[in-house]
Amino acid sequence: MGAEEDKQKSIPVLPWMRSPIDVSSFDECPLTLLPCLDPRLKVALENMEISSLFPVQLAVWQETIGPGSFERDLCINSPTGSGKTLAYALPIVQMLSTRSVKCLRALVVLPTRDLALQVKEVFSAIAPAVGLSVGLAVGQSSIADEISELINRPKLQLGVSFDPEDFLPELQSSVDILVATPGRLMDHINNTKGFTLEHLCYLVVDETDRLLREAYQSWLPTVLQITRANDESFLPCAHTFLPSPFSLKTIRRSGLERGFKGKPYPRLVKMVLSATLTQDPSKLAQLDLHHPLFLTTGQKRYQLPEKLQSYKLFCESKYKPLYLVALLQSLGEEKCIVFTSSVESTHRLCTLLNSFDNLPFKIKEYSGLQRQSVRSKTLKAFRKGDIQVLVSSDAMTRGMDVEGVRNVVNYDMPAYIKTYIHRAGRTARAGQTGCCFTLLREDEVKRFNKLLRKAENNSCSKYSVPSSYIEPLHSVYESALEKLKETVEMETSRKRKTGFKSSLSGERK
Ligand SMILES: Nc1ncnc2c1ncn2[C@@H]1O[C@H](COP(=O)(O)OP(=O)(O)OP(=O)(O)O)[C@@H](O)[C@H]1O
């Protein structure tokens, strides 16, 4: 495909996407100059060592708390590490800060557990300052524990007798904001008594392009249908009812009805975000957006962080692991994530690296092949700095924010620019510098150059590992390969045995 065709393809089809708000025209804004910021939230932000808002955060603030006043749904395409989480968390928390009755009013959906945990941390750092509670529905704990965290069963006062005719204790939400993954969200929608989206005012779909591929039990149509049904029951006259303490009626944002015929009057506000937001009309249609406003950064559809330096490193296929080890050694002990193309190669590569004697860093794998508890433990150790090199498959690392990751290595070349963006984006976050290295065979170079041309800030220099790092590794490499072979054989026979045992126990049942 020629450059002209690439350009054509990047022109958005949807009219509202053709005249976006360019986030790069915004500057950082000190908290002291931010209009309408609740002083309690200012203190909470300062406790997080945040003294100003990043451009995307200011742009979103203007469209929500500022003059935009949440009147349109927001589609936000902003580079990795630009601060999208706080961009939606802060205005939602500020908007909900005046509510006195507790019920579930904001739902944030994310594709993975670790990501949901990370986003919950951000909400938890600001929401309590204004008396709001944040819940998590990701399947980290048992469903029973999760339910008791999310649902409050009001206790009847001892000694006071109620006529059951007059009083039926209602289950109420213990949280105002819920961060969830699609699977557990659907579990609660389908099975948890007292769990309701009836009062939902804000829906955030983070990592939208990834989540739109996640059709898990049709979570998105279900959420939209529940909230829409509720929207439609809120005819303007319903506002005249006085809310009783036991049957709460929520009045959602009264969006401008004028000009938006056919849209429910008090509506659910949606915010959708990604560093690689889809422009595909059929995919975006699934979100049923209300008069959407597109916020994006720069001219090109794909943006790499401003302070990211990309490098390509040529190597023979046969010696790739050896080049990787030499590269890691040359980078020193700073935290690094190494990406491979599959869960299997993640496991193999990690095993091989651990078969090298005396490497001066600790290496662990992180992939969808592992149990969640193992993954979470690894991630925790990586955050703490107990592990320096994380060998990872793609699926798990979108949005992951780990302080101190200075380098990312594409051991296997990514097949798509989107993959490159999300992998490289684990470094150079929040305005910091960072490097992304891609190991390439000769026959991959042309394809890689073409792939990178699709992004802005795409300069990519050649990187050579000093031969003094490579030469001494040849003999160690041979013995590491031998050890790998032994480990693979051991693992295969262990799997065969456990497979045999479980098939036997299956027969006994
Ligand atoms: N205003 C701010 N000042 C200082 N640091 C900030 C600010 N906002 C966010 N950060 C930090 O920037 C980092 C990146 O933020 P965040 O994870 O929200 O990025 P993102 O845009 O969602 O990235 P990705 O697309 O990879 O998910 C985080 O470590 C966060 O704490």
Average pLDDT of the residues of the chain: 86
55 touches ligand 1 (CB under 6 Å):
no
State the pLDDT at residue 333. 84
Q: What is the DSSP string of 44-111?
A: HHHHTT--EE-HHHHHHHHHHTSTTTT-S-EEEE--TTS-HHHHHHHHHHHHHTT--S----EEEE-S
Q: Say how far apart CA 164 and CA 161 lie, in whole Å.
A: 9
Mutate to test the pocket of ligand 1, among 33, 45, 82 (most ligand atoms within 8 A of CB): 82
| CA contacts within 13 A on the Cβ side of 49 | 1
Shared domain for 292 and 406, answered yes or no, is no
Three-class DSSP labels, 253-271? EECCCCCCCCCCCEECEEE
Q: What is the pLDDT of residue 169?
A: 58
What is the model's pLDDT at position 69?
A: 83
Residue after which a domain boundary falls, among 296, 319, 349: 296
Residue 504 is assigned to a structural domain of this protein? no
Query: Would residue 251 count as lying in a domain?
Result: no
In a domain, 4, yes or no: no
Domain for residue 258, yes or no?
no
CATH of the domain at 209: 3.40.50.300
Q: Are residues 292 and 314 in the same domain?
A: no
Domain shared by 194 and 276, yes or no: yes
**Count of structural domains within the chain:** 2
**Whether residues 272 and 366 fall in one domain:** no
Distance 191 CA to ligand 1 centre (A): 35
Same domain for 475 and 334, yes or no, is: yes
Task: Please say if the pLDDT value at position 422 is more than 60.
Answer: yes
346-404 pLDDT tens trace? 999 999 999 988 889 999 999 988 998 899 999 999 999 999 999 999 877 789 999 99
Residue 275 alpha carbon, nearest atom of ligand 1: 25
Check whether residue 359 and residue 281 sit in a common domain: no
What is the spatial distance between Cα 313 and Cα 448, in angstroms, rounded to a whole number? 11
Confidence check: pLDDT of 509 > 80: no
Q: Which atom of ligand 1 is nearest to the CA of 82?
A: 21
Residue 507: inside a domain, yes or no?
Answer: no
Helix, strand, coil share (%) of the chain residues, nearest 5: 45, 15, 40
pLDDT at 479: 86
Q: How is residue 49 written in tokens?
A: 């060592």
CA 348 / ligand 1 centre spacing (Å) = 32
Residue 397: strand, helix, or coil: coil
456: three-class secondary structure by DSSP: strand
- 318-361 per-position pLDDT tens digit: 889 999 999 999 998 899 999 999 999 999 999 999 998 888 99
Confidence check on the interface: ipTM exceeds 0.85, yes or no:
yes
**Rg, the chain, Cα only:** 25
Question: pLDDT band for position 505 (50/70/90)?
Answer: very low
The reply to whether ligand 1 has any atom less than 6 angstroms from the CB of 83 is: yes
CA distance between the termini of the chain: 58
Banded model confidence at residue 101, pLDDT cuts 50, 70, 90 = confident
Q: Lowest mean pLDDT of 99-103, 248-252, 400-404, 406-410, name the range.
A: 248-252
pLDDT (0 to 100) of residue 418: 95
Task: Kindly compute the dihedral angle of the four CA atoms of residues 294, 296, 300, 301, in this order, to the nearest 10 degrees.
Answer: -60
CA 77–ligand 1 middle distance (angstroms): 14
Has residue 499 got a pLDDT over 80? no
User: Which among 408, 414, 467 has a CA at the least distance from the CA of 440?
Assistant: 414
Which ligand 1 atom sits closest to the C-alpha of 430? 12
pLDDT of residue 497: 75
Per-residue pLDDT at 163: 52
Average pLDDT over every residue of 146-162: 73
Looking at residues 177-204, what average pLDDT do you find?
A: 95
Ligand 1, atom 15, lies closest to the CA of 83
Kindly tell me if the per-residue pLDDT of 247 is higher than 80.
no
Are 211 and 353 within one domain?
no
Residue 316 shares a structural domain with residue 433: yes
Instruction: Please calculate the CA angle 471-476-482 and round it to the nearest 5 degrees.
Output: 140
Asked if residue 359 and residue 292 are part of one domain, the reply reads no
29 pLDDT exceeds 60? yes
Q: Is residue 508 part of a domain?
A: no
Ligand 1 atom at shortest distance from the alpha carbon of 49: 4
> Residue 259: pLDDT above 70?
no
Residue 256 Cα distances to 3, 18, 224, angstroms: 42, 23, 20
Atom of ligand 1 nearest to the CA of 48: 31
Do both 348 and 276 map to the same domain? no
87 CA distance to ligand 1 centroid (A)?
9
Residues 449 and 384 in one domain: yes
Q: How many CB atoms lie within 10 A of CB 263?
A: 14
Report yes or no on 166 lying in a domain.
no
Give 157's pLDDT tier (boundaries 50, 70, 90). low
Structure-token pair, residue 168 = 């039926």
Domain range for 446? 308-485
273 falls within a domain: yes
Band the pLDDT of 260: cuts 50, 70, 90: very low
For 35-51, the pLDDT digits (tens) are: 999 999 999 999 999 99
43 in the same domain as 140: yes
Indicate the pairing of strand 266-267 with strand 253-254: antiparallel
